[in-house]
A and B are shown apart, each in its own frame.
Chain A
């Protein structure tokens, strides 16, 4: 089930909210669990059993870790088993066919690929489960003895299929003790509706621009169209993904949960380093805590640090999908992160110190260029097409072998002209400008867990919801980008 669907907005969500608030406190988690299982089974009727297996296994791991106590060898053993099973399941279902393809290519064999589809959300819930086990073994959280509460943590429907990756210690207390209030619920609504509008009004529409260009033959692509495609996809994935996170956080609030932020206006970043502190924060945090730091992080010398960065980022890339372009995408960022640590970072600092305004602008342009090109690598899986597009982008396109790719086509101007409103809206929204204005005007807001809603916010939310709803009802283009994650 998708959040941006009539099924969810009209039928599922109202029913769950109703049941949840009618239920007595001790049954609230049960309502959430049943609703989440129903939500997952709706879109993934077969693989729900896989998720249940994962839940039970990791729940049991908790006891094993507890029992191992302080004995280092026992803990190592339990954690190894835990990692093998979790990553094994993830690896099998997600990377199984990828592995087979590569074996076939490398060893010239002809193994049959498995008839398996990717279980939705497996990357997210597996990582959440592992965060529980690892944090427990490090003594950062207490064991969760209640199977029901543990299950709620793993499969809570707001973040089940598209994140954020919620670490156990974020919600440890909240599973048993969370407060509900009109203020929190209202904040949840606001957040949810903004996320919905981002996805349905902005992301879907700029995504269509990308989709139209993506259908064209390589020979028909103009230089401009490749740039437009990169730009459009950059906007689509940001508004889609951050919109989904907004909806997840908003839904969490509606049920009394407070999750951490997952996106923080990544496109205003002045370096790739900064970008990855603002983009998909929960994933970056997960890899830092559970892979980068255990590998030594930056505590074992510069050479080892470079190695660690490259490993972690290749894995980060590969996490996004079982295909080499994703691994390349990740390594591409790893490379820039290393370069920034070594030299680019210092260069940027120097330029900014010479002229703050120009320097910041330059830094942002550099970041957007690097990121924009990365999205091309991310979105075009076929390597021939990707290489051709990269060549065309910089003026080296081969065209159809006779005539090189044109600089621009009429259709490019049409796409820009026709979509000028949504592109402008996307640009402004991504810049964080509205939020800055809002915070500065209303920065003396109520504190203490509550935040007063202004009347104009109510009107705005209502209008956004109505518009978003109409776009969902009337549109035929509503892609789900995370089916590879």
Chain B
């Protein structure tokens, strides 16, 4: 707002009034109001205890930076202090929500990390790395070459592909389709294509609105395709018990774009007979829950399934069918978090389900397959690689399968 020099030179009767000491003129109000507001914010920021973790944003917050001559001289103290100041500012959650809401209300279609779709559907802004994707596709063919064990690859599409109707207009498309097509070409029947079944059911609640995962229902539909591919008749949905776990789940995408209008998600679990009577163990042989209820109290409720991403887990039916029939099998799942709500469903067809997450599993996967195969008393009959498509293209740990 630049001043117009002309009206400064005009004489006006009002100037007399203003100068004659009007007690509460607006300039005073603005000046004092601004000073007061600044002071209040300053005092709160100084005296309020610093939070270490933000529930709303799902990340750890910057601590007060260490004061050292070096840090001050090279400028890093100043940078870190600003991060600290931003992270610990009073009412931070309010400011973050206000900014995101302002952008949302002004018809902006993304906030830099998440797209705002119709009806509260959020989409992560995913990157696809084609060269790495091709490398990974080659790597997952190795176990079958080495061990002769049938290896299926299930690339789960994300909401960006299946629910693309609700994406904002003109969002650049993600190439997930072409990823799937080229994998199908290379692997043939070893590629489990779940696009069609998910497409058919896109009107149902198969992806979370606020989280980047599929729902247990979406996982179920994918499971039906996987079961068919493995040669089993998939269990009908009605035969599984449907449990409502929560109705105020706010997931990963909401954490990146919290607004005042963020919708909440419901989480369900579909649990079959065998999954109910199963137990699980981690790498050290310690008992761990298949369904960890403690997470339902926390923010990351999706971690209810398998207790999050352990490097290694084995799910096992309690009933010992070995006595009954000699035809028991186990399966190895090499996966990312998309598989967590699907893995227990495999207990309906396998006595044991091994689960490895290459992002955290540091031992040689090749060696582990070898160990399971030759030391275990149950035949390892199948290997399934299950990732969501974008993750598969950017994950550098997938190639560990081949080493």
A residues lining the B interface (CB < 8 Å): 1, 5-7, 9-11, 13-15, 17-18, 42-46, 181-183, 185-187, 189-191, 194, 208, 246, 261, 263-265, 409-411, 413-414, 417-422, 435, 438-439, 443-448, 450, 452-455, 457-458, 461-462, 465-467, 469-477
Contact = CB atoms under 8 A, between A and B. Distances in A.
B169 interface: yes
Contact of B26 (A43, A186, A191, A439): A186
Contact of A183 (B27, B38, B82): B27
B38 A466 contact: no
A443 B74 CA distance: 51
- Which of the four size classes fits the interface of chain B? 35 or more
Contact of A14 (B26, B28, B35, B108): B35
A420 B106 CA distance: 8
Nearest to B42: A14
Interface string B15-55: 10011000001111111111100110110010000000000
Contact of B1 (A191, A448, A472): A191
Contact of B31 (A6, A189, A246, A477): A189
B31 A185 contact: yes
B295 interface: no
A455 B26 CA distance: 7
Contacts, number: 179
A6 B86 contact: yes
Interface string B162-191: 000000111111000000000000000000
Contacts of B34: 189, 465
A353 B316 CA distance: 90
Interface stretch (B2-10, B264-272, B285-293, B348-356): B2-10
A5 B81 CA distance: 11
Interface of B: 1-4, 7-12, 14-15, 18-19, 25-35, 38-39, 41-42, 45, 72-75, 78, 81-82, 85-86, 89, 92, 94-96, 98-100, 102, 106-110, 112, 168-173
Contacts of B170: 410-411, 413-414, 417
Contacts of A18: 39
B99 A194 contact: no
B15 A186 contact: no
Nearest to B100: A474
A476 B82 CA distance: 12
Nearest to A184: B27
Contacts of B72: 45
Q: Is the interface of B mostly helix, strand, loop or mixed?
A: helix
Given A447-B8, A458-B33, A7 B81 contact: yes
28 contacts: A6-B85, A10-B45, A14-B35, A14-B38, A43-B78, A45-B74, A183-B27, A190-B1, A261-B3, A263-B2, A265-B2, A414-B109, A414-B171, A417-B109, A435-B1, A445-B7, A447-B11, A450-B18, A450-B19, A450-B27, A452-B18, A457-B26, A458-B29, A458-B33, A470-B102, A473-B92, A473-B95, A473-B99
A435 B7 contact: no
A213 to B, nearest CB: 13
Instruction: State the 3 A-B residue pairs at the shortest beta-carbon distance, nearest first.
Output: A186-B27, A474-B99, A414-B170
Contacts of B8: 447
Given A458-B30, A473-B89, A261 B2 contact: yes
A465 B18 CA distance: 26
Contacts of A411: 170, 172
Contact of A447 (B9, B86, B112): B9
A461 B18 CA distance: 21
Contacts of B172: 409-411, 414
B9 A422 contact: no
Given A45-B75, A410-B172, A444-B12, 11 more contacts: A181-B27, A263-B2, A418-B110, A447-B10, A450-B18, A450-B19, A452-B14, A458-B26, A470-B99, A472-B86, A474-B100
